[in-house]
Amino acid sequence: MPIIRTPDERFENLPDYPFPPNYVEVGDDDLRMHYVDDGWSEDEVILCLHGEPSWSYLYRHMIPPLAAHYRVVAPDFIGFGRSDKYTEVEEYSFDMHYNTLKAFVHALNLEYITLVCPASRALQAAGHYEHRPSNR
């Protein structure tokens, strides 16, 4: 299954998107997943999940005011934004997105999360959090 990566220069000079890129490898194929990580908090993380066809750019105006009080994390799902992309449509599934989100949360050791997302992502997120009893 071929994987492609959008060149970084395609994301230069985006209006109102000053966030430096961060990456973590997730999934069975070691896919590179991009995320914005801004602000700081010992207690709580605001996790912003985009829908389709969007990416973390969706939250560019929400991140700065939230980051003044919390750590804000906004990933780009596989196939979107700065994250790696499969070239074969058959590779995309609910399970693939669920598993990469689960690996992402685990890799960043995110706990005590407040979720911000459209309804299309709620099931993927909820399925993960029911298995994490340490979360409030």
Which residue has tokens 């979720």? Answer: 115
Amino acid 126: pLDDT: 56
pTM recorded for the entire structure: 0.88
Q: Spell out the domains of the chain, with CATH numbers in brackets.
A: 3-129 (3.40.50.1820)
- What SS3 state is found at 16? coil
Can you give the pLDDT of all 136 residues of the chain as single tens digits?
799 999 999 999 999 999 999 999 998 889 999 999 999 988 899 999 998 889 999 999 999 999 999 999 999 999 999 999 999 999 999 899 999 999 999 999 999 999 998 866 555 555 555 555 554 4
Instruction: Write the DSSP string, 25-76.
Output: EETTTTEEEEEEEES--SS-EEEE---TT--GGGGTTTHHHHHTTSEEEEEP
Amino acid 127: pLDDT: 54
Amino acid 110: pLDDT: 94
Cis preceding-peptide flag for 53 (omega within 30 of 0): yes
* Residue 81 CB contacts under 8 Å (≥ 6 apart), including other chains: 6, 34, 50, 55, 56, 57
Q: List Cα–Cα distances, 127 to 52, 59, 131, in angstroms.
A: 19, 23, 7
On the 0-12 / 13-18 / 19+ scale of CB atoms within 10 A, 95 is exposed
Closest CA to 105 of 80, 87, 129, 70: 129
Amino acid 19: pLDDT: 96
